[in-house]
Chain A
């Protein structure tokens, strides 16, 4: 009995892998809401963005507003708040470009929630631009702000 379940499971996951390879699974990932492992393991901001958002066009937008301190006294706790007036938000990502792992946090928005707001507190190793990206209507909207850090919060 157990073997049967195992076999079923393997067959299902094998077909999932095949579908992912064929590129069908890109929008499904949001529904399945998996932890975006490759983005979180990438040490390059550009690669992480591509891993998370796929090949969607990235445009600078003033409809994405970052609320973050200009100067952070403590790099271990930097409050970042992203708000947007865009409709149909699919996902939001916060990227601290000079961190060892730039991709800090993301929010997948499913039906029933508006993605108008995402706030968290992040660690920052050094002064760095903080980039927030919002995917809405097939496009990725970007805003960026430099946060100065006097005492780092990564490692120690």
Chain B
């Protein structure tokens, strides 16, 4: 599944990272209209942010987050040329990752 990342310069210095992950984020409450069966839970649990390989932040998500989650965090210590990488894992063991360099 595709994951995209944007890095913007923040007003107060540092950088702001926006990650868009393509994911259905099923709640487990919705029913399939054709079969009437419940659609099982399927959501991203954790999204880890790394700066030059060291973990800096972790977002914990669950079914309450919208489909195709867009997560923004700020990295105050990021400098031009730093590598930012993001990995996520969902409740069924699915994973995704994205990497970019700060401009």
The answer to whether A and B assemble together is: yes
Tell whether B71 is near chain A: CB-to-CB under 8 Å: yes
Q: Interface segment, A13-21, A107-115, A132-140? A: A107-115
Chain B residue nearest to A39 (CB atoms) is B60
Interface size range on A against B: 35 or more
Chain B residue nearest to A33 (CB atoms) is B58
Chain B residue nearest to A104 (CB atoms) is B64
* Chain B nearest Cβ from A134, distance in angstroms: 13
- Contact with B58, one of A110, A111, A117 (Cβ below 8 angstroms): A110
Inter-subunit contact A76/B62 (CB<8 Å): no
- A107 and B66 in contact (CB under 8 A), knowing A113-B51, A117-B72, A118-B73? no
* Chain B nearest Cβ from A44, distance in angstroms: 14
Note all chain A residues with C-beta closer than 8 A to B27: 123, 154-155
Note all chain B residues with C-beta closer than 8 A to A101: 62-64
Note all chain B residues with C-beta closer than 8 A to A36: 60
Tell whether A25 is near chain B: CB-to-CB under 8 Å: no
Tell whether A156 is near chain B: CB-to-CB under 8 Å: yes
| Top-4 shortest CB links A-B | A114-B76, A119-B72, A104-B64, A113-B56
